[in-house]
């Protein structure tokens, strides 16, 4: 993997870990602040590291927020929730490992009448409806795929030179996230549907799950390059971390500059924005970490204080969910994505 990418990812991970460790723990710090226990399904997920950092910032002087790493283990997450409840938290903010486990978390919260805000991994509607204090903050999974597909189609039409074999068909490879994850399934499906709806013919050369991971994506794309070489005309990745892995593999194989193969991702993480600005990636879709974190904290505060979940905010409920919109990002509107991360 490109050493600069590794360095950047490691620095970001270290920074957010420090922020997470410095959060007030239930029963410590300012006793006037309500204690809240939060979980992240795994700390080394690139996008979730930014959500975690933003949650910590949004909670400052409002909540005594403890954020813990479930290490991609639902059983461990359940234990963390038990620990939070025993320490007297006033609410739970939960990024599930397994969406189907929502009912188990609700069953733990109900006896204590604790609000539960799930985020990023969406429980099914029945689970949310089973408890009047359970809500979800996230996105509409299909929207990210649709926007990514429209972005790909728009850029493909602008660059006829990308059709390397001049057959009028886009030969693409797809890096999928975690199999079964609603975002991975929707992005994989709707991105391609959106491209074909725009009248572009496509041929899928490869599709493989890299589980949102940069290093795994690089290894997969290394193998694809060995197999297909310059027959690959587009790389579509379910997230930016995998897109960065693809970029590292392609550049190491000499596919850069005029020989570059176009790549798109989803999330608009800072590392990807830099690559777009430098012309190394075509674009991404902003998965707004800042506003998702803000919505989680806003709903948590309202529910703790006995208010309606969106009272005094600009958020709108769709059933029992707040949907934070996605936005397609290219070099032309990078500032909008940078603003979400507070990047100058």
Q: pLDDT tens, 49-101?
A: 999 999 999 999 999 999 999 999 999 999 999 999 999 999 999 999 999 99
Could you give the CA distance from residue 4 to residue 34 in angstroms, rounded to a whole number?
A: 41
In a domain, 239, yes or no: yes
Span 312-334, mean pLDDT? Answer: 96
In a domain, 80, yes or no: yes
Quote the tokens at residue 115.
Answer: 């609000």
Instruction: Report how far apart the first and last C-alpha atoms of the chain are (Å, whole number).
Output: 27
Could you give the CA distance from residue 118 to residue 107 in angstroms, rounded to a whole number?
A: 14
Residues 151 and 43 in one domain: no
Residues 164 and 273 in one domain: yes
Percent of the chain's residues with pLDDT above 90: 87
Residues 161 and 100 in one domain: no
Boundary of a domain, candidates 286, 304, 328: 286
What are the start-end ranges of the H helices in 198-328? 214-228, 240-252, 270-277, 289-304
Q: pLDDT at position 104, please?
A: 98
How many domains, in total, are found in the chain? 2
Tokens 């957010």 belong to 16
Quote the tokens at residue 116.
Answer: 């539960």
pLDDT tens digits for range 53-62: 999 999 999 9
> Residue 93 is part of a domain; what is its CATH number?
3.40.50.2300
Q: pLDDT at position 30, please?
A: 57
Span 19-29, mean pLDDT? Answer: 39
Q: pLDDT at position 201, please?
A: 98
Span 148-169, mean pLDDT? Answer: 97
User: Under DSSP, is residue 158 helix (H, G, I), strand (E, B) or coil?
Assistant: helix
Residues 70 and 171 in one domain: no
Residues 127 and 164 in one domain: no
Could you give the CA distance from residue 265 to residue 269 in angstroms, rounded to a whole number?
A: 10
Give the count of beta carbons closer than 10 Å to the beta carbon of residue 57.
14
Radius of gyration of the chain (CA): 21
Of 54, 63, 59, nearest in space to 16 by CA: 54
pTM for the whole thing? 0.80
Of 308, 334, 306, nearest in space to 320 by CA: 308
In a domain, 332, yes or no: no
- pLDDT bracket for residue 14 (50, 70, 90): very low
In a domain, 319, yes or no: no
Q: pLDDT at position 23, please?
A: 42
pLDDT tens digits for range 91-138: 999 999 999 999 999 999 999 999 999 999 999 999 999 999 999 999
Residues 177 and 273 in one domain: yes
pLDDT at residue 4 tops 70: no
pLDDT at residue 6 tops 60: no
Mean pLDDT of all residues in the chain? 91
Residues 156 and 260 in one domain: yes
Span 300-325, mean pLDDT? Answer: 97
Residues 158 and 115 in one domain: no
Residues 223 and 166 in one domain: yes
Could you give the CA distance from residue 344 to residue 341 in angstroms, rounded to a whole number?
A: 9
Percent of the chain's residues with pLDDT above 70: 91
Could you give the CA distance from residue 59 to residue 34 in angstroms, rounded to a whole number?
A: 10
Span 127-151, mean pLDDT? Answer: 97
Q: pLDDT at position 31, please?
A: 65
Q: pLDDT at position 22, please?
A: 37
In a domain, 343, yes or no: no
Indicate the pairing of strand 35-40 with strand 91-94. parallel
Of 249, 264, 213, 265, nearest in space to 46 by CA: 213
Residues 292 and 279 in one domain: no
Segments forming the whole domain that contains residue 257: 141-286
In a domain, 324, yes or no: no
Residues 185 and 211 in one domain: yes
Residues 30 and 109 in one domain: yes
């Amino acid at each position: 993997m490109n050493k600069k990418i590794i360095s950047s990812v490691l620095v970001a991970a270290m920074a957010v870990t420090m922020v997470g460790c410095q959060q007030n723990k239930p029963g410590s710090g300012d006793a006037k602040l309500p204690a809240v226990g939060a979980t992240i399904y795994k700390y080394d997920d690139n996008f979730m590291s930014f959500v975690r950092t933003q949650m910590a910032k949004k909670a400052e002087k409002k909540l005594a927020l403890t954020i813990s790493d479930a290490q991609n283990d639902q059983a461990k997450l359940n234990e963390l929730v038990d620990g939070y409840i025993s320490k007297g938290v006033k609410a739970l903010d939960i990024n599930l490992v397994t969406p189907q486990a929502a009912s188990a978390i609700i069953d733990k919260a109900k006896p204590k009448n604790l609000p539960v805000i799930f985020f990023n991994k969406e429980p099914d509607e029945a689970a949310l409806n089973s408890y009047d204090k359970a809500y979800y903050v996230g996105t509409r999974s299909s929207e990210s795929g649709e926007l990514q597909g429209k972005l790909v189609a728009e850029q493909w039409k602008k660059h006829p030179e990308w059709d390397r074999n001049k057959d009028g068909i886009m030969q693409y490879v797809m890096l999928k996230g975690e199999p079964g994850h609603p975002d991975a399934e929707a992005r994989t499906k709707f991105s391609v549907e959106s491209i074909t709806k725009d009248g572009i013919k496509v041929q899928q050369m490869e599709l493989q799950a890299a589980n949102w991971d940069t290093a795994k994506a690089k290894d997969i794309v290394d193998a694809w390059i060995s197999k297909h070489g310059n027959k690959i005309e587009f790389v579509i990745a379910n997230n930016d971390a995998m897109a960065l892995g693809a970029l590292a593999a392609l550049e190491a194989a000499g596919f850069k500059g005029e020989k570059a193969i176009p790549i798109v991702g989803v999330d608009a993480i800072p590392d990807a924005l830099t690559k777009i600005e430098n012309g190394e990636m075509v674009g991404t879709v902003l998965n707004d970490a800042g506003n998702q974190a803000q919505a989680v904290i806003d709903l948590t505060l309202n529910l703790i204080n006995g208010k309606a979940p969106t009272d005094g905010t600009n958020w709108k409920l769709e059933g029992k969910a707040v949907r934070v919109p996605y936005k397609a990002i290219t070099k032309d509107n990078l500032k909008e994505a940078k603003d979400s991360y507070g990047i100058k």
